[in-house]
Structure 1
Amino acid sequence: MTRFMTLDFADGDRAALLGQVAAMARQPYGYVVTPNVDHVIKLMDGRVPEDVYRGAALMVCDSRILAHLAKLRGKRLSVYPGSDLTADLLASDHDLTFGVFGPDRAAFGDLVARYPKRRFTFIEAPMLTPGTPEWDATVKTAAAAEWDVLLACVSFPKQERFAHALRAAGRPSGVTLCVGASVDFLTGRQHRAPAIFQTLSLEWLHRLLSQPKRMFRRYVIEGPAIFGWFVKTEVLSR
């Protein structure tokens, strides 16, 4: 583990992290979060319940920006975007059943068609508000469904709260991956940044240019706060 900005990030190359996640599918229930800049900011300023995020069994860095900041403190973060983790796990030879929560029926059908040898379980994901009877009923349904790996693909931090709630609902085993738009990328509903943007740590810029109205606040107004939190947690706290 590498502790950075108060979070304990998983170490290891992609193969090792993939194996660790696959092993969790056969163990007592846990969930994986994939911290990026937006997640860390909202955790630090209290918009995300701390017990929900820190209750994860594994934190896998999803941000090259965070990795660059960590390097300034002489620390190394293993970057493994959630969308890559999802794609690699689906393409692996691990014998697993995948639950899919978030995508609609059409996207689910496209995912099944892309991975015809995989076993999938569709879990309906209506517009939910945490704490409502509808939310509680959906958590109960998901907790009882057949899956080893649950792909939780709804908005942050709702997916993390859902993953956390499954433990309280008594899910005995398996692992939930909080991986946002991963299924959208796999089914072509959204497109990842070109490789050059990823290599230059500019995937955020591609998303901003592709979806300016949706991403402007996140990347331009709120995003720069990460530098202040970096100074507070990694420089002034030493």
Structure 2
Amino acid sequence: MINEGKYSILGVNVHAVDYDFAVAKIISAAETKSPCSVSALAVHGVMTGFMDSVHARRLNGMDLVVPDGQPVRWALRWLYKKRLTDRVYGPNLTQRVAEAFAERGLSVYLYGSKQEVLNKFAQNLTQRFPELKIAGMEPSKFRRLTEYERTELADRIKASGANAIFLGLGCPRQEIWAYEYRNLVNIPILAVGAAFDFHAGTLPQAPKIMQDLGLEWLYRLIQEPKRLWRRYVILNPLYVWNIFLQYLGLKKFVPGVPDGSERIESYG
């Protein structure tokens, strides 16, 4: 189990941990029904904080931010000599947590995406882990929620008895949601995005060789060029350049911390 602390990558604190530590932390919070907001960040996720100081403070207010993308893991090594043997990939983390929940009789609430994706996701999870309890699920409304809707949603999740939430709203909306709902639901929230589609079978994953080489972004770009080209063609080079500046010490990236002034987005 590896936990080497958290380190600023372009002003976003990323935890140098492995799967075992992440799962153990989530299970501990789930069993005691304690708040624990978790995000698996790839380059795009880091860059949302880099370009928005308010969102960076939200990210830095989360309990655990794991290096989902290989370039994020590599940055921990280049900048801080943290030689993690693997990234903590959101879809794999989701499966490991689901397996641990099944073994312990814990339940999970699925929130986000579309109903048809949720149905397939839940079906595939319970086929693989028959003892896993799905306490409830509901799709995103794909709009901002009113304050009343926000309160009702939190109450529904708490009433379900769920020990944790698997959250799939896409970056950065899911991180905003996890930050805002952390103290409303008081259980772990795992912002795992594409894991919903991957495990539902509605979106294919990149071959492992591309994942290991940090080229998963290229595979996804080929799949959805119109939706993703700005994310990858613009943000990836910007990420590399600023990591280079941080490495040389030519630019400092001081992590901001939550100060209570963060915007309430209430997106659901």
Question: Is contact 2:198-2:205 (8 Å) kept?
Answer: yes
Between 1:112-121 and 1:59-68, the stretch displaced more is 112-121
- 2:255 alignment counterpart: none
Q: Note the 1:145-160 alignment, pairs <5 A.
A: 145-160=160-175
Match of 1:19 among 3, 9, 24: 24
Deviation at 1:48, TM superposition (A): 5.8
State the identity %. 24
Match of 1:98 among 108, 114, 120: 108
Distance 1:25 1:37 in 2: 28
Between 1:129-138 and 1:181-190, the stretch displaced more is 129-138
- 1:215 alignment counterpart: 228
**Relative to structure 1, is the Cα distance of residues 30 and 74 closer, same or farther in structure 2, using a 3 angstrom cutoff?**
closer
Question: Does structure 1 residue 83 correspond to structure 2 residue 88?
Answer: no
Distance 2:75 2:55 in 1: 24
Match of 1:138 among 143, 150, 153: 153
Deviation at 1:47, TM superposition (A): 7.1
Task: Deviation per CA, 1:191-216: give whole Å up to 9, x if none.
Answer: 11111111222111111112222221
Deviation at 1:160, TM superposition (A): 1.6
Between 1:4-13 and 1:75-84, the stretch displaced more is 4-13
**Structure 1 length as normaliser, TM-score?**
0.87
Task: Deviation per CA, 1:128-170: give whole Å up to 9, x if none.
Answer: 434524444334433443211210011212212222222343x
Distance 2:66 2:202 in 1: 24
- 2:239 alignment counterpart: 226
Question: Is contact 2:39-2:66 (8 Å) kept?
Answer: yes
**Relative to structure 1, is the Cα distance of residues 14 and 72 closer, same or farther in structure 2, using a 3 angstrom cutoff?**
same
Between 1:136-145 and 1:147-156, the stretch displaced more is 136-145
Distance 1:114 1:57 in 2: 28
Match of 2:178 among 158, 163, 170: 163
Match of 2:68 among 62, 68, 90: 62
Distance 1:126 1:68 in 2: 33
Structure 1 residue matching 2:24: 3-state secondary structure: helix
Matched letter for residue 184 of structure 1: D
Deviation at 1:232, TM superposition (A): 4.6
Distance 1:81 1:58 in 2: 13
Task: Deviation per CA, 1:55-86: give whole Å up to 9, x if none.
Answer: 21111110101222332224226411111100
- 2:260 alignment counterpart: none
CA RMSD of aligned residues (A): 2.4
- 1:206 alignment counterpart: 219
- 2:42 alignment counterpart: 36
Deviation at 1:2, TM superposition (A): 3.6
**Relative to structure 1, is the Cα distance of residues 221 and 8 closer, same or farther in structure 2, using a 3 angstrom cutoff?**
closer
Question: Is contact 2:71-2:214 (8 Å) kept?
Answer: yes
- 1:121 alignment counterpart: 135
Between 1:151-160 and 1:73-82, the stretch displaced more is 73-82
Distance 2:29 2:168 in 1: 19
Number of matched residues?
236
Structure 2 residue matching 1:25: 3-state secondary structure: helix
Distance 1:50 1:140 in 2: 28
Between 1:50-59 and 1:134-143, the stretch displaced more is 134-143
